[in-house]
Amino acid sequence: MTATHHTPDLFALSDIRGPVLRPGDEGYAEEVAGFNLAALHTPDVVVAASGADDVVAALRWASATGTPVAVQATGHGANFPIEHGLLISTAGMTDVRVDPERRTATVAAGAKWRDVLAASAPHGLAPLNGTSTDAGAVGYTVGGGLPVLGRTYGYAADLVRSFEVVTPDGLPREADPAHEPELFWALRGGKGNVGVVTSMVTELLPLRTVFGGGLHSPGENAEALLKAWAEWTRTVPEEMCSAFGILRLPPIPQLPEPLRGGFWARVAITWTGDPDEGEQLLAPIRAAAPVAVDLVEEMPYTAMDRIYMEPQDPLPARESCLLLRELTADAIRAFLDEVGPDVPDCPLLVAQIRHMGGALARPARAEDAICARDAHHLLETVAVLPSPPVAAAVERATASLHTAMAPYGTGRTMVNIHGTPGDAADRARAWTPEVYDRLRRAKRTYDPHNLLRFGHTV
Q: How many CB atoms lie within 10 A of CB 81?
A: 14
The closest of 4, 81, 93 to 55, measured between CA atoms, is 93
Smaller CB separation from ligand FAD, 318 or 438: 318
Per DSSP, what are the bridge partners of residue 265? 217, 246
**Interface with ligand FAD, residue 458, by CB under 6 A:** no
The closest of 54, 369, 44, 17 to 193, measured between CA atoms, is 369
Residue 195, SS3 per DSSP: coil
DSSP 248: E
**Interface with ligand FAD, residue 33, by CB under 6 A:** no
The residue range among 73-81, 201-209, 225-233, 289-297 that interacts with ligand FAD, by the rule CB under 6 A, is 73-81
**Interface with ligand FAD, residue 201, by CB under 6 A:** no
**Interface with ligand FAD, residue 192, by CB under 6 A:** yes
Q: x/- binding map, residues 304-343, to ligand FAD, per CB under 6 A?
A: ------x---------------------------------
Tell me the pairing of strands 69-72 and 317-324: unpaired
| Per-residue burial over 83-113, b = 16 or more CB atoms within 10 Å of its CB, e = otherwise | eebbbbbbbbbbebebeeeebbbbbbbbbbb
Could you give the angle at which helices 222-233 and 329-339 cross, rounded to 10 degrees?
150
What is the C-alpha separation between 110 and 190, in angstroms, rounded?
18
Q: What are phi and psi of 201, to 5 degrees?
A: -105, 120
**Interface with ligand FAD, residue 455, by CB under 6 A:** yes
Give residues with Cβ within 8 angstroms of 216, minimum separation 6: 247, 258, 259, 262, 264, 265, 266, 291, 292, 293, 294, 295
**Interface with ligand FAD, residue 139, by CB under 6 A:** yes
Smaller CB separation from ligand FAD, 391 or 404: 391
Smaller CB separation from ligand FAD, 172 or 341: 172
Smaller CB separation from ligand FAD, 239 or 447: 447
For residue 60, the one-letter residue type is R
Q: How many CB atoms lie within 10 A of CB 4?
A: 16
**Interface with ligand FAD, residue 78, by CB under 6 A:** yes
According to CB under 6 A, which one of 73, 159, 353, 401 is a site residue for ligand FAD? 73
Q: Which helix (H) or strand (E) holds 175?
A: strand 172-175
Smallest gap, in angstroms, from Cβ of residue 446 to ligand FAD? 12
Q: x/- binding map, residues 162-191, to ligand FAD, per CB under 6 A?
A: -----------------------------x
According to CB under 6 A, which one of 56, 71, 240, 295 is a site residue for ligand FAD? 71
According to CB under 6 A, which one of 31, 87, 90, 127 is a site residue for ligand FAD? 90
State which of positions 114-133 bind ligand FAD (CB under 6 A).
Answer: 130-132
**Interface with ligand FAD, residue 451, by CB under 6 A:** no
Smallest gap, in angstroms, from Cβ of residue 97 to ligand FAD? 17
For residue 255, the one-letter residue type is L
Q: Which residue is nearest to ligand FAD (CB)?
A: 139
Question: Which residues contribute to the site for ligand FAD (CB under 6 A)?
Answer: 34, 71-78, 90, 109, 130-132, 135-136, 138-140, 142-143, 145-146, 191-192, 196-197, 310, 416-417, 455
